[in-house]
A = this chain, B = another copy of it.
Amino acid sequence: MPKSPATTARSKRAGSQLTPDAIIEASLRIAARGSEDAFTVRRLGEELGADPTAIYRHFRDKDELLLSVADRTLGEVLDSIPEGLDWKGRIRALAAGSLEVALRYPVVGSTMASRTTRRPNEFRVVELIIGAVMEAGLQGAEAAVHYRMVGESLLAFVGQRAAHLLFDADIRAADESAWSREYRLVDAQAFPNITHLSTELAEVTDEQIFQVRVEALISAIEKRVETLRGA
């Protein structure tokens, strides 16, 4: 832990090879390799051309490193959202951007699905979502709980997709083929609905599902606003 510079601005040492930023970028490079290359401390040392344990001079543990990496990617998402969108557009852009980086760096999206980073960019996301639900017409406790619904749902969506991408290729293939193979062979007596929809079930794509899930969030907010207005 570097002592925080009191008055002198000497914080940058010339001889320091490793910096937090360099480590984060190396982490992203490994994370981008998805399931082909596990994200381990030893791999990270290899990628940096340094001893694996050197990382512990800059991050307390692997968890703190992952939180920092996650905050970096969250920043990328936020910067990709254009100005001037209405509340629905902002939520859709946030969802699409989050999914994009989560699929690019699966290990990050997966481990952060049920965490709170409490880092700068997370506050920006919170501010954005709360602004959206308030613009939609919710206030006070209603706005608060609906923000949490949107935030955690988005996190859960992209985390789920990212986690799926981390499985070995063969497990993933088995999961995907289930819809087109096993669900066609179920007992028609015991499972009439599955039998009836087997063709349509096999044709649903992940992208369709994601879009419907995002639209469900939006329409749930709209419906809540209408209900409160009517009452």
Residue positions of A touching B, CB distance < 8 A: 113-116, 118, 123, 126-127, 130-131, 134, 140-141, 143-149, 152-153, 155-157, 159-161, 163-164, 174-175, 178, 182-183, 186, 190-194, 197, 200-201, 203-204, 208-209, 212-213, 215-217, 219-220, 222-224
Q: How far is the CB of A171 from chain B (nearest CB, A)?
A: 8
Which of chain B's residues have a CB closer than 8 A to the CB of A147?
197, 201
The one of B160, B194, B204, B209 that contacts A123, using a Cβ cutoff of 8 Å: B194
The answer on a CB contact under 8 Å between A149 and B200 is: no
Which of chain B's residues have a CB closer than 8 A to the CB of A197?
130, 140, 143-144, 147
Residue of B nearest to A218 (CB): B220
Which of chain B's residues have a CB closer than 8 A to the CB of A209?
145, 148-149, 152
Residue of B nearest to A129 (CB): B193
Extra 11 A-B pairs, beta carbons < 8 Å, given A116-B175, A148-B212: A115-B175, A118-B175, A126-B194, A141-B204, A147-B201, A153-B213, A156-B160, A159-B160, A217-B220, A219-B224, A220-B220
- Copies of this protein chain in the complex: 2
Contacts A130-B197, A156-B160 given; does A149 touch B220 at CB 8 Å: no
Which of chain B's residues have a CB closer than 8 A to the CB of A126?
183, 191, 193-194
Which of chain B's residues have a CB closer than 8 A to the CB of A186?
123
Which 7 A-B pairs have CB atoms at the shortest separation, nearest pair first? Answer: A216-B220, A156-B156, A144-B200, A114-B163, A130-B193, A219-B223, A114-B160
